[in-house]
Structure 1
Amino acid sequence: MMKTFSAPLLAAAAVICATSAQADEEVTLRLKWLTQAQFAGPYVAEAMGFYDEEGLDVTIQPGGPNINVETMVASGANTFGIASGTEGVLASRAKGLPIKAIGIDQQVTPYVYVTKPDSGIKTAADFKGKKVATWFTGPQYVLYSVLAANGIEQSDVNIISQSVTLQPFIDGEFDVATATLYNEYNTLLAKGLTDLVVISPEDSGMVSQQDAIITSDKMIAEKPEVVQGFLDATLRGWKYAFEHPEEAIDMVMDAGTGLDRDHQTKMLEKVQELMTGTTGTSEGLGYLNMDAISTIEKNLVKYKAIDESVDITTAFDSSFWENVPAEYKTVAK
């Protein structure tokens, strides 16, 4: 005999089915670099089940010096990415890549250029005729702008692709290395290079926001609820990481291999400074500072780091960030 079900039971079953279908939404997140505390937010969101609560099955895939996150997301190979920064997103959009940033992690410039005291290099104006290494995953656009701001043609500098390790710099294979304040710079100090000359892009008027959270135009158009859920959970993960740093480091260590806990702890502390500095405190984690983005776009065009102007509203969409619950964007004191 066929069983019949009441309307409430049928409705409940429909909700369960819908929830199950939502939970099966598989997405990938491509990182710009290897597994480390720089990406603690997503790893915490995964380990704590924040993505699960949004109905997402997220696979986090590490990157490296030879992976262009913007290209991976634009092609559909990855759903989301922690990509380069404002410059990289604008340059990608100028090339016609259909990607948008929905948030930016680091509100303060994380890059510096380092050189040894005997190099004779004191400022970026001294880069002419020198071997300068940087990563070609976005930071190259910061370097291009710094060179132009100092009246130096790119062809007047031997620009070298920088690898994961700074051993070639230590060995004297090039004059200037690019370092992040939360990673490579600490590594150099730990190796005894405590007398380095440190040159900031900001010395040349280049303010660079980094680690853009990106997705494709296609995802935004077809699955905005997935995009919103991903951003909600990611920023919630960062909030938890900063409020529970020891737990966060545990989760990063579990996700990676060969990581040094002390180094990762120092990295998370510096990343928190970069993410909560300036507008990261006044506005909240992941804030898209459209005024700053507009200034960077103008500088990129002015200094010919990109060939043509870009409408920033085609490259950055702040609507998702605005809809993230306020409590996920604020770190407790």
Structure 2
Amino acid sequence: MKKLFLIALTILATTSLPLWLLAQQVSFIPQWRPQAQFAGYYVAYKKGFYKKYGIDVKILTGGPEAPSSEYLAKGKADFATMWLSTAIQMRAHGVKLINIAQIVQRSALMLVARKDKVKSLQDINGQMVGVWGKCFQIPLKAFFKKYHLKVKLIQMSSINLFLRGGVNITSAMWYNEYHTILMSGVDPDELTTFFFYKYDLNCPEDGIYTLEATFKKHPILCRNFVKASIEGWLYAFSHPEEAVDIILQCMLKAHVPMANKAHQRWMLDRMKDIILPPYGKLLAEDYYRVAHILKEQGLINRIPKFEDFYKETYVQP
């Protein structure tokens, strides 16, 4: 230990940098494969923003084979992104993770319907609704319950069932599946859309999480990781063409199919619409809205204290 301390002092003397600013190696995993949904992190990495704050980041590839929630809980990653609803469930079930930055402020979840079949809320009643993963179902069920709609949920793995007329309504993310529908040749005027945030069901999605122990041990590291990440997002929004090129490079490197430039540009533009000031701040009203929905659906027995769940790390300059 004494030898390591002397080495650290030597490095400090030769670099004129504080010890906490010396490069720290960390791993980070988004909840899906490379795409513009995570542009800010890849841009921050490629432009050297993490290194500027003394952080050597290894970005892992998320997805079904590598769930970000599982990687964080098991210590396979130091930082992870995930939906707020997922994180609250984990905290309520004993995983001591914390939100250190709520990146998405406005939910991008929506219902998309064929206008010739669905023109209003009440037209949804009695219909089959295509749905994706479990996290999609939480706000969906809350929506149907709030407006007294009885539907049959149909699990989908692609948008094809909707495109072929197998269902008249599907859940979608504004920045992803909705644009895929448009790119398939469907005109926006042929569709009826229901954005959940407009129905008092704003359940913000992506946030940055770490374990409570990591934050207690390395608070400055956590703050710097968030700061560099938000700088990456702001740079991406002000340099969209460069940001999309970076994303396409990362997609190709990760062997992600469908590296479509037009789709990634749409996705980045929509992320700009839902990543809003105050950047990185989790609002208590959003937290408790999501937590109460989870409790009403029997997914958690208790609501963790907001003060235990969220640690503010970023103050906008």
TM-score normalised according to structure 1 size? 0.80
Aligned counterpart in structure 2 of residue 149 of structure 1, from 146, 149, 163: 146
Q: Deviations over 1:295-331 (max 9, x none)?
A: 332343345454432322222222x124xxx34xxxx
1:293 aligned onto 2:291: no
Q: 1:28 to 1:248 in 2, by over 3 A?
A: same
Equivalence for 1:6: none
Equivalence for 1:3: none
| Contact 1:125–1:150 under 8 Å retained in 2 | no
TM-aligned CA deviation for residue 133 of structure 1: 0.9
Q: Deviations over 1:158-214 (max 9, x none)?
A: 434443x31233234444322111121111112122212212223542112121111
- Matched residue of 2:275: which SS? helix
User: Hey, what's the Cα distance between the residues in 2 that align with 1:204 and 1:160?
Assistant: 22
Equivalence for 1:272: 272
User: Hey, what's the Cα distance between the residues in 2 that align with 1:78 and 1:20?
Assistant: 23
Equivalence for 1:193: 186
1:74 aligned onto 2:79: no
User: Hey, what's the Cα distance between the residues in 1 that align with 2:230 and 2:223?
Assistant: 11
Q: Which structure 2 residues correspond to residues 11-160 of structure 1 after superposition, within 5 A?
A: 13-16=11-14, 25-65=24-64, 67-84=66-83, 86-120=84-118, 122-123=120-121, 126=124, 128=126, 130-136=128-134, 138-151=135-148, 157-160=151-154
Equivalence for 2:245: 250
Q: 1:73 to 1:128 in 2, by over 3 A?
A: farther
Q: 1:111 to 1:160 in 2, by over 3 A?
A: same
User: Hey, what's the Cα distance between the residues in 2 that align with 1:50 and 1:19?
Assistant: 18
TM-aligned CA deviation for residue 96 of structure 1: 1.9
Letter in 2 for 1:176: I
Equivalence for 1:224: 219
Equivalence for 1:259: 259
- Matched residue of 2:314: which SS? helix
User: Hey, what's the Cα distance between the residues in 2 that align with 1:149 and 1:297?
Assistant: 16
Q: 1:72 to 1:174 in 2, by over 3 A?
A: farther
- Matched residue of 1:197: which SS? strand
Q: Deviations over 1:247-290 (max 9, x none)?
A: 212211221124222221222111111112xxx1xx3x222212
Equivalence for 2:174: 181
Q: 1:222 to 1:161 in 2, by over 3 A?
A: farther
User: Hey, what's the Cα distance between the residues in 2 that align with 1:207 and 1:166?
Assistant: 24
Q: 1:240 to 1:204 in 2, by over 3 A?
A: closer
Structure 2 residue runs of 5 or longer lacking an equivalent are: 1-7, 253-257
| Contact 2:131–2:137 under 8 Å retained in 1 | no
Greater Cα offset, 33-42 or 138-147: 138-147
| Contact 2:127–2:168 under 8 Å retained in 1 | no
User: Hey, what's the Cα distance between the residues in 1 that align with 2:266 and 2:22?
Assistant: 35
TM-score normalised according to structure 2 size? 0.84
Letter in 1 for 2:114: K
Structure 1 residue runs of 5 or longer lacking an equivalent are: 1-9, 328-333
User: Hey, what's the Cα distance between the residues in 2 that align with 1:125 and 1:298?
Assistant: 27
| Contact 2:248–2:259 under 8 Å retained in 1 | yes
Q: 1:262 to 1:69 in 2, by over 3 A?
A: same
- Matched residue of 1:206: which SS? coil
Q: Deviations over 1:18-59 (max 9, x none)?
A: 879965532221112221111111011100111112222212
| Contact 1:131–1:176 under 8 Å retained in 2 | yes
Q: 1:118 to 1:19 in 2, by over 3 A?
A: same
Aligned CA-pair RMSD? 2.9
Letter in 1 for 2:146: A
| Identical-pair percentage | 24
